[in-house]
Amino acid sequence: MRFPTAEQPGAPGPKSCIGYSLAVRRIGRADVAALLYATAVRWPTDDARPLGVISIDEPQARAIGEKSFMIDVRTAAALPITIEFFPHLGRADRGIQGAASAGLSRKIESVLEALRRRRIAIDLRGPGGR
């Protein structure tokens, strides 16, 4: 999907990248996807990685045809399911690269809980001027 950038949080970003689909919500008869950003930024050690960033190692990433990457739970987007934000919607798989393991889902849940306990804000982007 084309995640909005911090500079233009309401518009599709310049390039398509992978993300984690947290939920699909319905507003009226339209669907909106709530997503977590992925990042290719690397930290020198696991300890240096900030709270909220989950590492997807090489084997996990390879299973969905990607190189290792990080999921940044601190950055989310609520995006209308349109071709502008999801350029691969027209494909047979609708741009879905794979299903997250139960372990990853649990990890995301625990990280969200940790962020909530520490009152760490999430940057929510997408059209709507939040």
Partner 1 sequence: MLTFIIPHPTLPAPMAEGSIHAEGVPLRVDPVPLREARKRAKAEKRTLAEYVETALREKLKRAQRKPRKSRAPAIALRGPIPPGKLRKSRPAPLPGETKRQREKRDRLFHTVLDLSGVPR
Instruction: Report which of 81, 102, 94 is spatially closest to residue 30, judged by C-alpha positions.
Output: 81
Q: Which of 11, 64, 81, 100 binds partner 1 (CB under 8 A)?
A: 81
Question: What span, in angstroms and rounded, lies between the C-alpha atoms of 56 and 24?
Answer: 22
Chosen residue from 6, 14, 29, 50 binding partner 1 by CB under 8 A: 29
Give the 3-state secondary structure of residue 76: strand
Stretch that binds partner 1, among 1-9, 28-36, 41-49, 63-71 (CB under 8 A): 28-36
Tokens representing residue 112 in the block:
């969200």
Query: Closest by alpha carbon to 128, among 37, 59, 32, 29?
Result: 32
Binding partner 1 (rule: CB under 8 A), the pick from 41, 62, 101, 109 is 109
**Interface with partner 1 (CB under 8 A):** 10, 22-32, 34, 76, 78, 80-82, 108-109, 112-113, 115-116, 120-124, 126-130
